Amino acid sequence: MKKSLKRAGVAMLATVGIAAGTLAGTAPASAASPGDLQILGGIECHFGQWGQPWNQAWYMYRWMTVRNIGGSTMHNVILNEINGASVRVKELKPGESMSKWDNKAKRWVRPIETRWFGCVPATISGFTFGDEAENLLNNFGYWQNWRNQQNPGTP
Protein backbone atom coordinates (compact mmCIF):
# COMPACT_ATOMS: atom_id res chain seq x y z
CA MET A 1 0.00 0.00 0.00
CA LYS A 2 2.88 2.32 0.85
CA LYS A 3 4.37 1.72 -2.60
CA SER A 4 1.11 2.50 -4.42
CA LEU A 5 0.68 5.76 -2.41
CA LYS A 6 4.20 6.80 -3.43
CA ARG A 7 3.43 6.04 -7.08
CA ALA A 8 0.16 7.96 -6.89
CA GLY A 9 1.94 10.93 -5.29
CA VAL A 10 4.65 10.94 -7.97
CA ALA A 11 2.03 10.67 -10.71
CA MET A 12 0.07 13.56 -9.17
CA LEU A 13 3.17 15.75 -8.92
CA ALA A 14 4.12 14.94 -12.52
CA THR A 15 0.61 15.82 -13.71
CA VAL A 16 0.63 19.11 -11.80
CA GLY A 17 4.11 19.92 -13.14
CA ILE A 18 3.11 19.23 -16.74
CA ALA A 19 -0.08 21.30 -16.38
CA ALA A 20 1.82 24.21 -14.81
CA GLY A 21 4.47 24.08 -17.54
CA THR A 22 1.79 24.08 -20.23
CA LEU A 23 0.02 27.08 -18.71
CA ALA A 24 3.30 28.96 -18.23
CA GLY A 25 4.28 28.25 -21.84
CA THR A 26 1.01 29.48 -23.33
CA ALA A 27 0.48 32.60 -21.21
CA PRO A 28 2.82 34.92 -23.20
CA ALA A 29 1.45 33.72 -26.52
CA SER A 30 -2.13 34.51 -25.56
CA ALA A 31 -1.23 37.98 -24.24
CA ALA A 32 -1.16 39.50 -27.76
CA SER A 33 -3.39 38.59 -30.69
CA PRO A 34 -1.56 36.81 -33.50
CA GLY A 35 -0.66 38.43 -36.81
CA ASP A 36 -3.11 38.10 -39.69
CA LEU A 37 -2.24 38.85 -43.32
CA GLN A 38 -4.94 40.26 -45.59
CA ILE A 39 -4.48 40.55 -49.36
CA LEU A 40 -5.92 43.60 -51.13
CA GLY A 41 -6.09 44.43 -54.82
CA GLY A 42 -8.07 45.80 -57.70
CA ILE A 43 -8.31 46.88 -61.31
CA GLU A 44 -9.12 50.50 -62.13
CA CYS A 45 -9.85 52.22 -65.43
CA HIS A 46 -8.67 55.84 -65.63
CA PHE A 47 -9.67 58.43 -68.18
CA GLY A 48 -7.28 61.42 -68.28
CA GLN A 49 -7.63 65.03 -69.30
CA TRP A 50 -8.04 66.30 -72.87
CA GLY A 51 -4.78 67.14 -74.58
CA GLN A 52 -2.66 64.45 -72.90
CA PRO A 53 -0.87 61.75 -74.91
CA TRP A 54 -3.11 58.71 -75.42
CA ASN A 55 -0.96 56.42 -73.26
CA GLN A 56 -1.53 58.79 -70.30
CA ALA A 57 -5.11 59.82 -71.08
CA TRP A 58 -6.66 56.35 -70.97
CA TYR A 59 -5.12 53.52 -68.98
CA MET A 60 -5.87 50.54 -66.76
CA TYR A 61 -4.15 50.04 -63.41
CA ARG A 62 -3.90 46.58 -61.77
CA TRP A 63 -2.51 46.22 -58.24
CA MET A 64 -2.11 43.97 -55.18
CA THR A 65 -0.71 44.49 -51.70
CA VAL A 66 -0.73 42.88 -48.23
CA ARG A 67 -1.70 44.38 -44.87
CA ASN A 68 -1.13 42.92 -41.39
CA ILE A 69 -4.51 43.28 -39.65
CA GLY A 70 -3.41 41.19 -36.64
CA GLY A 71 -1.78 42.16 -33.37
CA SER A 72 1.77 40.84 -33.78
CA THR A 73 4.60 41.17 -36.31
CA MET A 74 4.65 38.75 -39.24
CA HIS A 75 8.05 37.69 -40.62
CA ASN A 76 9.19 36.82 -44.17
CA VAL A 77 5.90 37.85 -45.77
CA ILE A 78 5.60 36.88 -49.42
CA LEU A 79 3.08 38.25 -51.94
CA ASN A 80 2.76 36.26 -55.18
CA GLU A 81 0.82 37.20 -58.27
CA ILE A 82 -0.29 33.98 -59.97
CA ASN A 83 1.86 33.64 -63.10
CA GLY A 84 3.50 36.97 -62.28
CA ALA A 85 5.69 38.88 -59.86
CA SER A 86 6.66 37.91 -56.32
CA VAL A 87 7.60 40.31 -53.50
CA ARG A 88 9.06 39.52 -50.06
CA VAL A 89 9.50 41.71 -46.98
CA LYS A 90 11.39 40.68 -43.84
CA GLU A 91 8.68 41.83 -41.43
CA LEU A 92 5.26 43.42 -41.45
CA LYS A 93 4.28 45.01 -38.14
CA PRO A 94 0.65 45.25 -36.93
CA GLY A 95 -1.29 47.76 -39.03
CA GLU A 96 1.48 48.02 -41.65
CA SER A 97 1.06 47.43 -45.37
CA MET A 98 3.51 46.58 -48.14
CA SER A 99 2.31 49.74 -49.92
CA LYS A 100 4.30 52.96 -49.47
CA TRP A 101 3.28 56.58 -50.06
CA ASP A 102 5.38 58.38 -52.68
CA ASN A 103 5.42 62.11 -51.83
CA LYS A 104 6.92 63.07 -55.18
CA ALA A 105 4.29 61.24 -57.26
CA LYS A 106 1.52 61.91 -54.69
CA ARG A 107 0.25 58.33 -54.87
CA TRP A 108 0.47 54.94 -53.17
CA VAL A 109 3.13 52.66 -54.64
CA ARG A 110 2.04 49.06 -54.35
CA PRO A 111 4.45 46.11 -54.46
CA ILE A 112 2.70 44.51 -57.44
CA GLU A 113 1.25 46.95 -59.96
CA THR A 114 0.91 47.18 -63.73
CA ARG A 115 -0.33 50.01 -65.92
CA TRP A 116 -1.66 49.26 -69.40
CA PHE A 117 -2.84 51.49 -72.23
CA GLY A 118 -6.62 51.32 -72.68
CA CYS A 119 -9.17 49.56 -70.56
CA VAL A 120 -9.75 45.96 -71.58
CA PRO A 121 -11.26 43.05 -69.64
CA ALA A 122 -8.58 41.85 -67.24
CA THR A 123 -7.99 39.96 -64.01
CA ILE A 124 -5.37 39.85 -61.29
CA SER A 125 -5.04 37.16 -58.64
CA GLY A 126 -2.53 36.15 -56.02
CA PHE A 127 -1.81 34.85 -52.56
CA THR A 128 0.26 35.72 -49.50
CA PHE A 129 1.85 33.88 -46.59
CA GLY A 130 4.46 34.36 -43.86
CA ASP A 131 6.52 32.32 -41.37
CA GLU A 132 3.87 32.33 -38.62
CA ALA A 133 0.64 30.32 -38.65
CA GLU A 134 -2.41 32.55 -39.17
CA ASN A 135 -5.89 32.75 -40.70
CA LEU A 136 -5.57 31.55 -44.30
CA LEU A 137 -9.11 32.51 -45.35
CA ASN A 138 -8.07 36.06 -46.37
CA ASN A 139 -4.74 35.15 -48.02
CA PHE A 140 -6.04 34.66 -51.58
CA GLY A 141 -7.52 37.33 -53.83
CA TYR A 142 -9.05 37.55 -57.29
CA TRP A 143 -10.19 40.76 -59.02
CA GLN A 144 -11.72 41.36 -62.45
CA ASN A 145 -13.15 44.23 -64.48
CA TRP A 146 -15.57 42.45 -66.81
CA ARG A 147 -18.24 45.13 -66.54
CA ASN A 148 -18.77 47.50 -69.45
CA GLN A 149 -17.17 50.87 -68.70
CA GLN A 150 -19.18 53.75 -70.15
CA ASN A 151 -17.22 56.57 -71.79
CA PRO A 152 -17.34 59.52 -69.34
CA GLY A 153 -17.84 61.98 -72.21
CA THR A 154 -21.12 60.33 -73.28
CA PRO A 155 -24.24 62.18 -72.04
pLDDT digits (tens, 9 = 90+) for 120-129: 889 999 999 9
The pTM of the whole model exceeds 0.75: no
The domain locations on the chain are 1-31, 37-144
Is the torsion defined by CA of 57, 63, 68, 69 positive or negative? positive
pLDDT given for residue 58 in this prediction: 84
CATH number of 37-144: 2.60.40
Residues 34 and 72 sit within 8 Å (Cβ to Cβ): yes
pLDDT given for residue 12 in this prediction: 52
Q: What is the pLDDT of residues 12-22, one digit of tens each?
A: 544 445 544 54
Spell out, as residue ranges, where the chain has pLDDT lower than 70: 1-31, 147-155
